[in-house]
Amino acid sequence: MQNLLLALALSAAAEGYVAGSAGWDAAYAKAQIALQKLNQTEKVGLATGVTWEGGPCVGNTYAPESIDYPSLCLQDGPLGIRFANPVTAFPAGINAGATWDRDLLYARGAAMGRESKGLGIHVQLGPASGPLGKNPDGGRNWEGFSVDPYLSGVGMEETIQGMQDSGVQACAKHWLGNEQEHHRETMSSNVGDRATHELYLWPFMNAVKANVASVMCSYNKFNQTWACESDAILNKLLKDELGFKGYVVSDWNAQHTGVNSALAGLDMTMPGSDFNTPRGNIFWDSNLVQAVSNGSVPQSRLDDMVTRILASWYLLGQDQGYPEVTFSSWDGGKATVDVTADHGSLVRTVARDSIVLLKNEDDILPLQEPQILAIIGSDAAVNPDGPNACTDRGCNNGTLAMGWGSGTAEYPYLIDPLSAIKSQAESDGTQIIQSTTDSATAGAEAAAAADTAVVFITSDAGEGYITVEGNAGDRNNLDPWHNGNEVVKAVAAKSDNVIVVVHSVGPIILETILAQPSVKAIVWAGLPGQESGNALVDVLYGSTSPSGKLPYTIAKQFADYGASWTAALDDNFAEDLLVDYRHFDQNGISPRYEFGFGLSYTSFEYSRLAINVAATAGPSNGPVVPGGAEQLFESVGTISVLVQNTGEVPGAEVAQLYIGLPDSAPSTPPKQLRGFDKLLLEPEQSGMATFELTRRDLSYWDVQEQKWIIPAGKFTVYVGSSSRDIRQHGEFSIASS
Ligand code: NOJ
């Protein structure tokens, strides 16, 4: 019988990547056979990096001789491939999140995965949902999808499915509580169990559910223990509770001990040493061989590491003709193949559909063949030294289309707003006056000579190993950089028609700009990637109606968030569950632009809310499947609403579902995102937005019971166009069991 099961499993695996537990079973079966052939040194080699710059990729393992298995190539990152060219520079995660479009999230992941596979990369180090973004000034928030765990979770799941369907192993990072850059390698994130589950772990449930091959443990300590040697978060949370079957890889140099990390559940160490070259301090490699032989680490633990690593490789079908690595990170990254295909058009679509229109007075947008247009700000044009002038995009010169750090890729080209607008202007007969410095005086002069002025402003952030204009990764404030407020003020004093375009890693405070009456429009374009200008023109000129929605709140003042990075070595996560809109809602603070907000060139009406939900109150149990207890993912029904395009032009609307839990649940945020559906509608056309709900969506984490619980009582249903523009209310009840 067992042989029959093994044969079935093996034949399933021979077909390539098989989703779900069946895929893992088959992959494990193959891995266990391969494991038998390896000697101890080879086993340890599969789990140990060859040290920094020891191979072509940012992470490489030792290749064994006894089985046909390569030196694994692990390469950044979440928006495209780092240290290689040509590759596609995709829109950042935060823009992908702002589309609220599952198909685009998947397509972006799949395209990135194809590029990775084409270059011979086995493991692409993304996507990210840590940081989640609880600190609005956190340096790496833009690498992830949203500060809301539900939206971030969908981003993780779709991206991972896309990447892995293309054949590359995805790596969900950073696990866990890595919310800031300052002191990231020394500080402790001290997080309550409930917030851990309901906020920070939630998107990783989706990642594990999508069968993510690997998870990267983070630099910080979590509740005083290093994330990469915490039994509580690696063995217990990730592997036992979420049923993660792949392997845990350390962030680069985030391992602090050999034995403890092995016992806690770390499966692979990167880069295998500290950053000293050729070989720095090494915790595993021959030291792990010794630790096993003297009994400090059980043989079964080493075998488990290797089985997990091999199984992930088999799961993705990487044993079948996977390409060789075709570039080296350390010599300019020139690849011997071109993997970029037609991905530029996908970049343009994602960037276009991520643009959030924040303000549009007097229908100043879309532009209709303006006579004289002033284009103002250094962000309008590409850096005169080229878009890749600064290593890992570590400067904010010229138009901003990604943040900085390891989560960046080299631009193959960068279409800036100025050149894209110029080519549109040519066909419209529009005269362009440009002022591509950040001089307020020059900007005002240009504006005075035009009938409409477009001012470009930025705010940048990134990883803490680079400091840009005094910002050590995290942002020093939420104001526009380069004198942006003053430039806008000067322009607004000279022009009646001002449009402000924002390229930014996250929220900025817009009050000064909004106080200028002639600022008629604000367009949030985020970090759009290589097709920045083209995507912007699509929206500015109305060939496409804007359809992005804010993946975070824009406050009236920084202090309103109640959170920011700390200079202390302990962050006690005092926000608890009240992060972003949960905090604004709970404390009655009016945001400037709320979570989920975004205007369109058309209008939408909501009607016919239908609630069809039935569930049993109490805990979700059952065997652990990838993602958590099986019952968590059982359907409890659907909620739907009819959305009609009541305007004059086609447009897409993101209908959003928020749920308020009954009073029987211990203090919970007033409402939480639990569904969304994006519909593209012609004028007068209607479509049904449908929200599928699972038990998890109605649950809170009960700290005493250590389970997800559906509370009994009355649930409130809010469906609308943003977290505050609620168009339909309803309720349903769940009886106590
Ligand atoms: C450190 C970063 O935190 C991580 O995201 C990245 O994948 C590694 N460096 C490798 O570059």
**Helix (H) / strand (E) containing 315:** helix 299-315
323 assigned to some structural domain:
no
| Cα–Cα dist 580/585, whole Å | 9
| Cα–Cα dist 184/569, whole Å | 9
The ligand 1 atom nearest the CA atom of 405: 2
590 CA to centre of ligand 1 in angstroms: 37
CATH code, domain carrying 631: 2.60.40.10
In this structure, the residue with its CA closest to atom 1 of ligand 1 is: 252
Same-domain pairing of 140 and 254 = yes
The ligand 1 atom nearest the CA atom of 125: 7
Query: What tens digit of pLDDT does each residue of 682-698 get?
Result: 999 999 999 999 999 99
| Cα–Cα dist 131/36, whole Å | 39
| Cα–Cα dist 275/209, whole Å | 33
581 assigned to some structural domain:
no
CATH code, domain carrying 486: 3.40.50.1700
pTM confidence score = 0.97
Tell me: pLDDT of 12 over 70: no
For the segment 318-330, the average pLDDT, to the nearest whole number, is 97
Residue 1: per-residue pLDDT: 34
Same-domain pairing of 291 and 410 = no
Of 262, 297, 315, at which residue does a domain stop?
A: 315
* Nearest in space to 551 (alpha carbons), one of 462, 693, 676: 676
In this structure, the residue with its CA closest to atom 6 of ligand 1 is: 406
Residue with tokens 């897409």: 652
| Cα–Cα dist 694/553, whole Å | 26
Same-domain pairing of 672 and 539 = no
Query: What tens digit of pLDDT does each residue of 110-158 get?
Result: 999 999 999 999 999 999 999 999 999 999 999 999 999 999 999 999 9
194 CA to centre of ligand 1 in angstroms: 28
657 assigned to some structural domain:
yes
Residue 20: per-residue pLDDT: 54
52 CA to centre of ligand 1 in angstroms: 12
332 assigned to some structural domain:
no
Same-domain pairing of 285 and 413 = no
Do residues 405 and 92 lie in contact, with contact meaning Cβ atoms separated by under 8 Å?
no
The ligand 1 atom nearest the CA atom of 171: 7
76 CA to centre of ligand 1 in angstroms: 7
1 CA to centre of ligand 1 in angstroms: 45
334 assigned to some structural domain:
no
The ligand 1 atom nearest the CA atom of 407: 5
pLDDT tier at 353, thresholds 50, 70, 90? very high
**Helix (H) / strand (E) containing 112:** helix 102-118
| Cα–Cα dist 493/506, whole Å | 27
Same-domain pairing of 150 and 109 = yes
The conformational region for residue 295 under phi > 0 = left, psi -120 to 50 = alpha, else beta, is left
End-to-end CA distance of the chain: 40
Percent of the chain with pLDDT over 70: 97
Residue with tokens 């989706």: 206
Residue to substitute in 58, 81, 82, 125 for testing ligand 1 pocket (most ligand atoms within 8 angstroms of CB):
125
Same-domain pairing of 542 and 409 = yes
In this structure, the residue with its CA closest to atom 8 of ligand 1 is: 252
pLDDT tier at 533, thresholds 50, 70, 90? very high
71 CA to centre of ligand 1 in angstroms: 19
Do residues 718 and 669 lie in contact, with contact meaning Cβ atoms separated by under 8 Å?
no
Go through the chain and tell me how many residues it has. 737
Tell me: pLDDT of 526 over 80: yes
294 CA to centre of ligand 1 in angstroms: 33
Same-domain pairing of 478 and 627 = no
229 CA to centre of ligand 1 in angstroms: 17
In this structure, the residue with its CA closest to atom 10 of ligand 1 is: 252
Residue to substitute in 76, 81, 179, 404 for testing ligand 1 pocket (most ligand atoms within 8 angstroms of CB):
76
Do residues 145 and 129 lie in contact, with contact meaning Cβ atoms separated by under 8 Å?
yes
* Nearest in space to 617 (alpha carbons), one of 691, 706, 705, 708: 708
Same-domain pairing of 394 and 275 = no
In this structure, the residue with its CA closest to atom 11 of ligand 1 is: 406
Query: What tens digit of pLDDT does each residue of 145-181 get?
Result: 999 999 999 999 999 999 999 999 999 999 999 999 9
Same-domain pairing of 307 and 371 = no
Query: What tens digit of pLDDT does each residue of 357-374 get?
Result: 999 999 999 999 999 999
106 CA to centre of ligand 1 in angstroms: 23
Tell me: pLDDT of 52 over 80: yes
Which domain does 726 fall in, by range? Answer: 602-734
Of 296, 315, 334, at which residue does a domain stop?
A: 315
575 CA to centre of ligand 1 in angstroms: 27
> What DSSP letter does each residue of 407-437 carry, written as one string?
T----S----HHHHHHHHHHHHT-EEEEE-S
* Nearest in space to 172 (alpha carbons), one of 204, 219, 138, 205: 204
In this structure, the residue with its CA closest to atom 9 of ligand 1 is: 252
Do residues 447 and 495 lie in contact, with contact meaning Cβ atoms separated by under 8 Å?
yes
* Nearest in space to 460 (alpha carbons), one of 387, 401, 418: 401
β-strands 356-360, 225-226: how paired? unpaired
Tell me: pLDDT of 15 over 50: no
Q: Which residues of 476-503 are buried (b: 16+ CB within 10 A; e: fewer)?
A: eebbbbbbbbebbbbbbebbebbbbbbb
575 assigned to some structural domain:
no
Same-domain pairing of 490 and 419 = yes
The ligand 1 atom nearest the CA atom of 76: 7
Residue 5: per-residue pLDDT: 38
| Cα–Cα dist 46/314, whole Å | 14
Of 269, 297, 315, at which residue does a domain stop?
A: 315
Query: What tens digit of pLDDT does each residue of 605-627 get?
Result: 999 999 999 999 999 999 999 99
270 CA to centre of ligand 1 in angstroms: 10
- Is the four-CA dihedral 460, 465, 468, 473 of positive or negative sign? positive
User: Which residue ranges have their beta carbon within 6 Å of ligand 1?
Assistant: 58, 76-77, 125, 173, 251-252, 406
Residue 2: per-residue pLDDT: 38
416 CA to centre of ligand 1 in angstroms: 28
Active site residue ranges: 251
Query: What tens digit of pLDDT does each residue of 617-654 get?
Result: 999 999 999 999 999 999 999 999 999 999 999 999 99
463 CA to centre of ligand 1 in angstroms: 9
Tell me: pLDDT of 422 over 90: yes
For the segment 530-547, the average pLDDT, to the nearest whole number, is 98
- Other C-beta atoms lying within 10 Å of the C-beta of residue 511: 12
The ligand 1 atom nearest the CA atom of 218: 3
Strand order in the sheet with 604-613: 604-613, 635-645, 686-694
168 assigned to some structural domain:
yes
Query: What tens digit of pLDDT does each residue of 369-418 get?
Result: 999 999 999 999 999 999 999 999 999 999 999 999 999 999 999 999 99
For the segment 423-440, the average pLDDT, to the nearest whole number, is 97
Tell me: pLDDT of 10 over 80: no
| Cα–Cα dist 502/94, whole Å | 14
* Nearest in space to 461 (alpha carbons), one of 413, 527, 535: 527
336 assigned to some structural domain:
no
The ligand 1 atom nearest the CA atom of 178: 3
CATH code, domain carrying 39: 3.20.20.300
Residue 3: per-residue pLDDT: 42
- Is the four-CA dihedral 301, 303, 309, 311 of positive or negative sign? negative
**Helix (H) / strand (E) containing 727:** strand 726-734
Residue 4: per-residue pLDDT: 42
Domain count across the chain? 3
Residue to substitute in 175, 216, 219, 329 for testing ligand 1 pocket (most ligand atoms within 8 angstroms of CB):
216
Which tokens go with 637?
């029904």
For the segment 485-490, the average pLDDT, to the nearest whole number, is 98
**Helix (H) / strand (E) containing 264:** helix 259-264
Q: For 554, how many CA atoms within 13 A lie in the half-sphere containing its CB?
A: 26
pLDDT tier at 737, thresholds 50, 70, 90? confident
Q: Which of these ranges, 9-18, 515-524, 702-711, 727-736, has the smallest mean pLDDT?
A: 9-18
Same-domain pairing of 227 and 184 = yes
* Nearest in space to 550 (alpha carbons), one of 148, 200, 159, 156: 148
Average model confidence (pLDDT) across the chain: 96
Tell me: pLDDT of 8 over 70: no
Residue with tokens 């917030």: 195
pLDDT tier at 722, thresholds 50, 70, 90? very high
In this structure, the residue with its CA closest to atom 4 of ligand 1 is: 251
Same-domain pairing of 206 and 354 = no
